Amino acid sequence: MQFKDMNSQLTPQHVHTYDAQGRMTCCTLEEKIQVKSGPPQLQPHSDDDGHDHDHEGEVAHSPWREYLPAIISFALLLAGIALEYWLKADWFTGWIRLVWYLAAYLPVGLPVLKEALGAIGKGEVFTEFLLMSIATVGAFAIGEYPEGVAVMLFYAVGELFQTAAVRRAKGNIKALLDVRPDQATVLRDGQFQEVKPETVGVGDTIRVKPGERVPLDGTLLGESSASFDTAALTGESKPRSIAAGESVLAGMVSSESVVEVKVTKPFGESSIARILELVQNATARKAPTELFIRKFAKVYTPIVVLLAVLLIVVPYFTVPDYVFRDWLYRALIFLVISCPCALVISIPLGYFGGIGAASRQGILFKGSNFLDLMTKVTTVVMDKTGTLTHGVFKVQKIESDGVEKNELLILAAALEQHSTHPVAKALLLYADEQKLDWKKATVAEVKEIAGHGLTGQVNGKLVMVGNTKLLEKFKIAYPPTLDAEVDTIAVVAVGNKYVGFITIADEIKPDAVDTIKRLHSAGVRELVMLSGDKDTVVQKVIATLGIEKGFGDLLPEDKVKKVEELKRENPSSTIAFMGDGLNDAPVLAAADVGIAMGGLGSDAAIETADVVIQNDEPSKVATAIAIGRATRRVVWQNIGFAFGVKIIVLILGAGGLATMWEAVFADVGVALLAILNAVRVQRMKFS
């Protein structure tokens, strides 16, 4: 199920009418939000260029149009009760009384009756609309006009509250994701002009003023850095400094200066477009609880109708002083209180609220089922570089054997320019700082050997740069003292001969220690680090952070094997893996829950992972667990409360101890409290 029209107008008559295939159905959160495939009048209007103006339409839409039927019904009902019971008007009898209450009933009852008939015509017989229709028409049949009106009126009021709750949930996510401006200032024919972002092509230059949002992905032009507010994308309150030549993403806000950006991706393929699609589609994957309730409602409703019929028929044969009207009244009460709307609405709304709360924290869940899975995580396996460490390496020392240090660095940098690994970036940065002209070297036949390093021809010589496993693979001897180096090491060989090495160190992220403490506090039993870095580095990091196990010198396939081993050791465990979403794609897919760190600009992260942490804070994983548990707790509170109240009032109604008024207040009250409880997830604070 997709949320392509997140601001389409929802009216009480149609808010629960159509499912994703355009069929009439019982009200669920999906039908309340998904209106794209509904009736034509619910589509947001478009101007001549096809641009949707659903947001403007929603603002212009007066709430009185929605509330008017309920207001009319309530006024007529109140006036009728006053005339009948308080003023005791003699003329208010017979057909006048019937017409009066019928006029009060039709504004709120007619849409429900039409939907019940429409649903029956499409094969959806047992819906809540049928329950409400039978109960209210039955009340009119036995002369209980005020109660018949009251049932439908309070049902309509409940629908209005449900609509408001859904709009609030949508509004919270839309406020987070409505970050793409309608205009882009692009350089054309030597002048900057405002155009639609959709018309800007790759390679164009756009200008962004202070306080404006970047409309498309690109690279920062100029000779210096610029500050950007990334809160809408990552949840980070602190501005991020981006250097010239680095990536700038759609949705960022220029904080201090006018900047120019060279566009690298079309409008529809920008990072924020992918995030929008991810969140809009998030509820397509249902949690097991949600799926159970939907299946339960389909079985529950026909059973309730059958029990109501039996409640009328069985006493005829068993009760001596059987009065048909009394038992019909009890059956109608039974139908009113049995309406499953509180469950069917509040549970998906609870999960949707959890997804919205996570989105505001910079955490994107690909489905409500992963909210549930996060609550069961017992083992967290994590990568090192870029996950618990910054992934920003700095050269520590250079040792050469048979060549000059500068020549060693030039050979390594010339080859590493073809790699995206953090080690390669560190080598290139250091070579530039040393003002070495490595770019003049001729490089050819470059090959990357996964988990080992690079080989290629540099200035006509065979050069290898990588870890010691690369030299072992080609049977090149190297000093055994290299294995004792604690820092990450890049070994260099020329012409099948070892010529030296470069050590590089990474820094642990500030919140890494807090991450481990919070995961332990959350009940995670086992923490394991898997890294392609040297095992000595891994052991140093896990000792610093307090992680139980750590394994280094691993290839991507080795990480998958380790995760599979953990599963075999404890089949009942739920394993989450934290990684950068690119090199770790295989193990992200192998884990029960794959969590991509800092995956905002990574296609591999969004495609492979189940949960995407948009910034580089590993502590957000503990936050994701907390949000998942809060959501699940609210969902089960709603289930327990709704079932408890309904069972009590059903028994009282069947025994003749509850009136239809009490049934109405109980049903509407349960629904409203369950909805308010579900919305509460969006207001919770998660540290």
Asked if pLDDT for residue 385 goes beyond 60, the answer is yes
Number of domains observed in the structure of the chain: 2
Nearest Cα to 411, choosing from 517, 520, 511, 498?
A: 498
Nearest Cα to 73, choosing from 154, 187, 158, 189?
A: 154
Residue 500: the pLDDT is 94
Read off φ and ψ for residue 653, nearest 5 degrees: -65, -45
Query: Can you tell me the mean pLDDT for 602-624?
Result: 79
Q: What is the DSSP letter of 418?
A: T
76-84 long-range CB contacts below 8 Å, 24 or more apart? 76/100, 76/101, 76/103, 76/104, 76/149, 77/101, 77/104, 77/146, 77/149, 77/150, 77/153, 80/104, 80/145, 80/146, 80/149, 81/146, 84/146
Residue 441 lies in a domain: yes
Q: Look at 431 and 283; give whichever has higher pLDDT.
A: 431
Residue 418 lies in a domain: yes
- Tell me if residue 528 falls in helix, strand or coil: strand
Tally of CB atoms within 10 A around 76: 20
Instruction: Write the CA distances from 482 to 394, 470, 560, integer angstroms.
Output: 18, 13, 27
Q: Look at 34 and 473; give whichever has higher pLDDT.
A: 473
Mean pLDDT, the chain, rounded, equals 79
Which among 226, 251, 269 is the end of a domain? 269
Residue 440: the pLDDT is 86
Residue 22: the pLDDT is 32
Cα–Cα dist 115/133, whole Å: 10
Q: Look at 256 and 78; give whichever has higher pLDDT.
A: 78
Q: Which residues of 514-523 are buried (b: 16+ CB within 10 A; e: fewer)?
A: ebbebbbebe
Q: Position of tokens 């478009």?
A: 46
Could you tell me if 220 and 214 are in contact, meaning their C-beta atoms sit under 8 angstroms apart? no
Rounded to a whole number of angstroms, the distance between the first and last alpha carbons of the chain is 31
Q: Position of tokens 């919205």?
A: 356
Strand partners, 453: 449, 466
DSSP letters, 184-245, are EEEEETTEEEEE-GGGPPTT-EEEE-TTPBP-S-EEE-SSS-EEEE-HHHH---S-EEE-TT
Token digits for 362?
């910079």
Asked if pLDDT for residue 418 goes beyond 50, the answer is yes
Residue 303 lies in a domain: no
Residues 6+ apart with CB under 8 A from 82: none
Number of H helices, E strands in the chain: 22, 22
Is 603 designated active site?
no
Most confident of 39-53, 178-192, 211-225, 648-662: 211-225
Residue 219 lies in a domain: yes
82-114 tens-digit pLDDT: 998 888 888 898 899 999 999 999 999 999 899
Residue 387: the pLDDT is 84
Query: Can you tell me the mean pLDDT for 32-57?
Result: 34
Asked if pLDDT for residue 381 goes beyond 90, the answer is yes
Q: Identify the CATH number of the domain in which residue 473 sits.
A: 3.40.1110.10
Residue 490 lies in a domain: yes
Q: Position of tokens 């870029």?
A: 386
Read off φ and ψ for residue 593, nearest 5 degrees: -130, 120
Could you tell me if 467 and 503 are in contact, meaning their C-beta atoms sit under 8 angstroms apart? no
Cα–Cα dist 344/341, whole Å: 5
Could you tell me if 144 and 161 are in contact, meaning their C-beta atoms sit under 8 angstroms apart? no
Helix H or strand E segment including 457: strand 453-458
Asked if pLDDT for residue 55 goes beyond 80, the answer is no
Could you tell me if 251 and 272 are in contact, meaning their C-beta atoms sit under 8 angstroms apart? yes
DSSP letters, 599-643, are -TT-HHHHHH-SEEE-SS-TTHHHHHHHHHHHHHHHHHHHHHHHH
Residue 169: the pLDDT is 55
Could you tell me if 112 and 68 are in contact, meaning their C-beta atoms sit under 8 angstroms apart? no
Asked if pLDDT for residue 47 goes beyond 80, the answer is no
Q: What is the DSSP letter of 403?
A: S
Helix H or strand E segment including 57: helix 54-60
Asked if pLDDT for residue 679 goes beyond 90, the answer is no
Instruction: Write the CA distances from 522 to 149, 595, 631, integer angstroms.
Output: 50, 17, 15
Q: What is the pTM of this model?
A: 0.63
Query: Can you tell me the mean pLDDT for 130-145?
Result: 84
Cα–Cα dist 562/17, whole Å: 49
Residue 60 lies in a domain: no
Asked if pLDDT for residue 76 goes beyond 90, the answer is yes
Strand partners, 455: 447, 464
Cα–Cα dist 400/380, whole Å: 40
Residue 59 lies in a domain: no
Cα–Cα dist 521/408, whole Å: 48
Q: What is the DSSP letter of 682?
A: G
Read off φ and ψ for residue 190, nearest 5 degrees: 80, 0
Cα–Cα dist 351/100, whole Å: 43
Residue 25: the pLDDT is 38
Which of the four pLDDT bands, split at 50, 70 and 90, describes residue 63? Answer: low
Query: Can you tell me the mean pLDDT for 510-521?
Result: 91
Burial of 436 (0-12, 13-18, 19+ CB in 10 A): middle
Read off φ and ψ for residue 576, nearest 5 degrees: -110, 140
Nearest Cα to 493, choosing from 396, 395, 411, 553?
A: 411
Q: Look at 148 and 497; give whichever has higher pLDDT.
A: 497
Which among 487, 505, 523 is the end of a domain? 505
Read off φ and ψ for residue 237, nearest 5 degrees: -85, -25
Which among 505, 521, 538 is the end of a domain? 505
Could you tell me if 217 and 271 are in contact, meaning their C-beta atoms sit under 8 angstroms apart? yes
Alpha-helical regions (H) of 418-534: 422-433, 468-473, 512-521
Of the residues 5, 19, 372, 383, only one is catalytic, namely: 383
Which of the four pLDDT bands, split at 50, 70 and 90, describes residue 167? Answer: low
Cα–Cα dist 492/503, whole Å: 11
536-579 tens-digit pLDDT: 888 989 998 999 999 988 877 888 899 999 999 988 899 999 98
Residue 437: the pLDDT is 84
Cα–Cα dist 600/217, whole Å: 11
Residue 294: the pLDDT is 63
Asked if pLDDT for residue 357 goes beyond 80, the answer is yes
Lowest mean pLDDT among 143-157, 488-502, 535-549, 559-573: 143-157
Read off φ and ψ for residue 112, nearest 5 degrees: -70, -40
113-133 tens-digit pLDDT: 998 898 888 887 777 788 788
Cα–Cα dist 166/169, whole Å: 5
Q: SS3 string of 245-261? A: CCEECCCCEECCCCEEE
Which of the four pLDDT bands, split at 50, 70 and 90, describes residue 61? Answer: very low
Cα–Cα dist 545/50, whole Å: 54
Query: Can you tell me the mean pLDDT for 640-666?
Result: 79
Tally of CB atoms within 10 A around 510: 10
Query: Can you tell me the mean pLDDT for 515-534?
Result: 90
Q: Look at 679 and 445; give whichever has higher pLDDT.
A: 445
By percentage, how much of the chain surpasses pLDDT 70? Answer: 80
Residue 319 lies in a domain: no
219-267 tens-digit pLDDT: 999 877 888 877 666 655 567 788 888 888 887 888 878 899 999 988 8
Which range of residues forms the domain containing residue 452? 394-505
